[in-house]
Structure 1
Amino acid sequence: MSDVILETRQLTKEFKGFTAVSKVDLSVVRGSIHALIGPNGAGKTTCFNLLTKFLEPTSGTILFNGHDITGERPAQIARRGIIRSFQISAVFPHLTLLENVRLGLQRALGTSYHFWKSEKTLKPLDARARELLAEVGLAHEADELTVNLPYGHKRALEIATTLAMDPELMLLDEPTQGMGHEDVHRVAELIKRVSAGRTILMVEHNMSVVSTIADTITVLQRGAVLAEGPYAEVSKNPQVMEAYMGTTDGQLQGAH
């Protein structure tokens, strides 16, 4: 099987004459962490919405494991193993951490909407749910109500529920948004840890995160690919520095 898990060819999305994503060619290598970065309004989230079929492309092709998935619906994409976490923490606040992860496992089993099933029928999922909580460093909080968690822990829980769906490709949308420095570091470490044997495509603003964990970076500007490569190379690209900083002096330090 090819080592490219996800590929887009000339992917384009227009909204009433405005081109949000313009002829984007993207290749995500299996087993890598690939970051999509760019100034605000660069088209990153639109790109994610196209990949997960929340938006239909105006033109272009999306291939997953060599299959053309351009015309598929969001549920079909999820069944293929492309699972996305959202910018806003998407967990149930009044369930425990264990119950949240168990719902993700239920979905993978195809019994996701059997909320009326007795507690007893869900017990077999508990051991795996606890394993996943341990994987994201939350094992000790399994029986805590999610509403009581600090923000960084909620994002870690969201990664656990995403992992529960056994994704072949994880799409992480701004995983460190709104976090303090300590939480950013913890979540970056977590993403690095759970990436073993998995493929991750992430939209991320925080350059310290991208520079630490991403294998490949694609920079978007005005919906088009401006540059692509490892951080060391991309961060020295004069066009990238100008897009971010309005200057070509010095290194790329952060995103506005």
Structure 2
Amino acid sequence: MSDYIIETAGLTKEFKGFTAVNAVDLRIRRGTIHALIGPNGAGKTTCFNLITKFLEPTRGTIRYNGRDITRAKPADIARLGMVRSFQISATFPHLTLLENVRVALQRPLGTSFHFWRPESSLRALDERAMALLDEVGLTAYATLPAVELSYGRKRALEIATTLALDPEMLLLDEPTSGMGHEDIGRVAALIRRVAANRTVLMVEHNLSVVSDLSDTITVLARGEILAEGTYAQVSKNPDVVDAYMGTGHA
């Protein structure tokens, strides 16, 4: 098996003559945290949407575990073990945390919509649901309605529901966006914890989170890869500095 879980070749996306992503060759090493960063308009969200199959590429290929997924659907890649957090993580605000995770656990069983079943028939899922809540640090809140959670803890609950699919690869889009300092620290620690036995790809604006968590960072600018390496390497790259601070920021 290849060291790389995701490999793209010549990945390109054009919108009516505008090239948002241009010939991107990206390789994500198995078992690492890989961050995709760049100034506004760099193409990172488009690239992320291509990899997670929410957009179809104009040209190029995407391989996951050596398998060509260029024309696959989001549900197909989720079944293969590559899950984007919001694919299944829309929480039910008036269900408890335990109930939210239990609903997510029903998906692989094909019983997602069996809400009419007696609650007692779903109790078999409670042990696994509690284990997932423990994994994201939410055990103490298991009986609390999701609507009562802070923003950061809601994101942790979303990650717990995503982990219910037992993904090999977890894709996170701006996981700390809109959070205060305390919640950022809590979610960053959670990402590190859940990455212990899986691969994580994240798009993230917060460079302190990126520097703390990432094994590898790919910097995009104007739809192309500008630099790649560790945070120490890319932060000293003059092209990266210019892209963030100079004329390339526009």
**Alpha-carbon contact 1:95-1:146 (below 8 Å) kept:** yes
Structure 1 equivalent of residue 114 of structure 2: 114
3-state DSSP of counterpart to 1:195? helix
Paired with 2:247 and 2:57, the residues of 1 have a C-alpha distance of 33
Residues 17-71 of structure 1 deviation map (CA, whole Å, 9 limit, x = unaligned): 0111111111111100000001111111111211121111101000000000111
Structure 2 equivalent of residue 68 of structure 1: 68
Paired with 1:152 and 1:191, the residues of 2 have a C-alpha distance of 12
3-state DSSP of counterpart to 2:14? strand
Shift of 1:185: 1.0
Structure 2 equivalent of residue 238 of structure 1: 238
Matches within 5 A, 1:1-256: 1-86=1-86, 90-246=90-246
Amino acid at match of 2:72: E
**Alpha-carbon contact 1:9-1:60 (below 8 Å) kept:** yes
Amino acid at match of 1:116: W
Shift of 1:116: 2.4
Shift of 1:86: 3.6
**Alpha-carbon contact 1:108-1:166 (below 8 Å) kept:** no
Shift of 1:90: 2.8
Worse-superposed segment, 57-66 or 96-105? 96-105
3-state DSSP of counterpart to 1:134? helix
Shift of 1:247: 8.0
Amino acid at match of 1:68: D
Amino acid at match of 1:143: T
Amino acid at match of 1:186: R
Residues 130-170 of structure 1 deviation map (CA, whole Å, 9 limit, x = unaligned): 01101111001001000000101001111111111111110
Structure 2 equivalent of residue 252 of structure 1: none
Paired with 1:117 and 1:224, the residues of 2 have a C-alpha distance of 51
**Structure 1 stretches of at least 4 aligned residues deviating more than 4 Å after TM superposition:** none
3-state DSSP of counterpart to 1:201? strand
Unmatched runs of 5 consecutive residues or more in structure 1: 249-254
Worse-superposed segment, 38-47 or 234-243? 38-47
Structure 2 equivalent of residue 251 of structure 1: none
Paired with 1:69 and 1:128, the residues of 2 have a C-alpha distance of 30
3-state DSSP of counterpart to 2:196? coil
Paired with 1:81 and 1:10, the residues of 2 have a C-alpha distance of 24
TM-score, normalised with respect to structure 2: 0.95
TM-score, normalised with respect to structure 1: 0.93
Shift of 1:118: 2.2
**Alpha-carbon contact 1:228-1:234 (below 8 Å) kept:** yes
Unmatched runs of 5 consecutive residues or more in structure 2: none
**Alpha-carbon contact 1:241-1:247 (below 8 Å) kept:** no
Q: What is the root-mean-square deviation of aligned Cα atoms in Å?
A: 1.7
Paired with 1:191 and 1:236, the residues of 2 have a C-alpha distance of 25
Worse-superposed segment, 239-248 or 163-172? 239-248
3-state DSSP of counterpart to 1:228? strand
